[in-house]
Amino acid sequence: MQTAAILAGGQARRLGGRDKSQILVGGRTILARQLDVLREVADRIIIVSNDPSRYDSTGVPAVADVLPGTGSLGGIYTALTVATGRVLVVACDMPFLTATFLALVWDVGAEADIAVPRAEDGYHPLCACYAQACVAPLRRRLEAGTLKVVDLLNDVRVQEIGPAEIAAFDPDGLLLLNVNTPGDLARAERGRLERP
């Protein structure tokens, strides 16, 4: 079963604590946009959140963080513990993901413990495919309090999706945009208007 997990537990400090999944881009929430795309590539979708009740109306199961207060790393761990196989993980603030790109990430994930995009600005571990082999390394990092997600790449077999591969799916440079700041949101709105 192909499982996708949307990580929606962040505090969004740079956006005044707003629920980033509910931000509107082009008149639709980022969450609605993501659900449409993920339904094309996954048999099962879950939302991982520190407050699952916020997502009762989505029709998608929401699960609480197994280890609250451990950030995105804990969200990935939670997703893997409730799934039986690999999990395609996406952050809830990425409005421009496409089914074709996520299908590539999923396919590349068959060859490694983590399949992760590496764009010009670095790794994007919150749009990646994680295998069950990551559970033990994740647990060790969580117990040690070393919560930086990208550091997990040192502990497992990684298959990168490099800039040239990404570019084929990203003509306008918005594919991996995270809406973390008001400036990011403005860029998302501009990009949506500029797209054909």
Q: How many CB atoms lie within 10 A of CB 60?
A: 17
**Share above pLDDT 70 across residues of the chain, in percent, rounded to a whole number:** 93
Q: What is the block-wise mean pLDDT of the chain (196 residues), using blocks of 10 residues?
A: 88 62 90 96 95 91 94 96 96 96 96 96 97 97 96 97 96 92 85 54
16-42 b/e with 16+ CB inside 10 Å = b?
eeebbbebebeeebbbbbbbebbeebb
Pick the CATH number of 3-185 from 3.20.20.150, 1.20.1630.10, 3.90.550.10, 3.30.930.10: 3.90.550.10
Q: Do 74 and 144 contact (CB within 8 A), yes or no?
A: no
Domain residue spans of the chain: 3-185
> Which pLDDT score is estimated for 16?
55
Q: Please list, in sequence order, all residues whose beta carbon lies within 8 angstroms of the beta carbon of residue 167, skipping any fewer than 6 positions away.
A: none
> Which pLDDT score is estimated for 192?
61
**Placement of tokens 């509107």 in the chain:** 24
> Which pLDDT score is estimated for 195?
45
Q: What pTM, to 2 d.p., does this model score?
A: 0.93
Using alpha carbons, list the distances in angstroms from residue 76 to 57, 88, 108, 146, 167: 23, 10, 18, 14, 26
